[in-house]
Amino acid sequence: MTPREPGADRAPVRRWPRVLAAVFAALLSVGAAQAYYPATEGASWTYSSGETQVLSGPRDLGGRDVMVLTHYLAGVPVSEDYLEYGAAGVISYGSAAGGQVFRYAPPIVVYPPAPLSPGMKWTSTTQLPGFSLTLDSEVVGLRGVATEAGRFNALLLRQTTLTSNGGQTVLDIYFVPTVGIVRFVTQDGTTIDLIELAL
């Protein structure tokens, strides 16, 4: 019988830490990609307008699993957005307000695949009963933003919503990767800041 080196029979076991480290690194990279657009169940954002947005789900919407972003005013739910987070970015499959659900066909691209960078533009159009809705977005640049919730380096997105019956609104959105929207500036110049965040 040939003498064996101590621990020779455990050589495959020694490889496990390296294998596990590689798997863990891969999982972290996937998690980092998904976290660019915050999509954690229970995440919430409260704004100076009195609105709180809470993410829940997943929920079945016509055979598709979506996350639900519920908008609350003074603690009362007023609307919902049905969103899918993935390799294609953030896609909206519909919304609900006033007891009615509106399904978007085709769905709307809210954000394209990460990462966003200044100069990027995207447009998405959907059909609703009696009219079409177009979301036209552009990353204008980077801006420093100070709110009650903290100081941030944000991407400034200009979002124009157009309807086929002539409606148009422009909204400036200050988006921070892994955090979400920290400021809105409405068409009339009203500034709405993030005041509380739970991710």
Arithmetic mean of pLDDT over the chain: 86
Q: 5 in a domain, yes or no?
A: no
pTM above 0.85, yes or no: no
In terms of residues, how long is the chain? 199
Question: 3: which DSSP letter?
Answer: P
Q: What is the CATH number of the domain that holds 158?
A: 2.40.360
Asked whether the predicted pLDDT for residue 30 surpasses 50, the reply is no
- Counting the structural domains of the chain, the total is 1
Q: What are phi and psi of 13, to 5 degrees?
A: -65, -35
Residue 193 included in any domain: yes
Confirm whether 20 is domain-assigned: no
Contact between 159 and 136 under an 8 Å Cβ cutoff? The reply is: yes
User: How does pLDDT run across 119-166, given as a tens digit for each residue?
Assistant: 999 999 999 989 999 999 999 999 999 999 999 999 999 999 999 999
Taking the mean position of all CA atoms in its chain, how far away is CA 155?
14
Q: Which domain holds residue 143?
A: 44-198
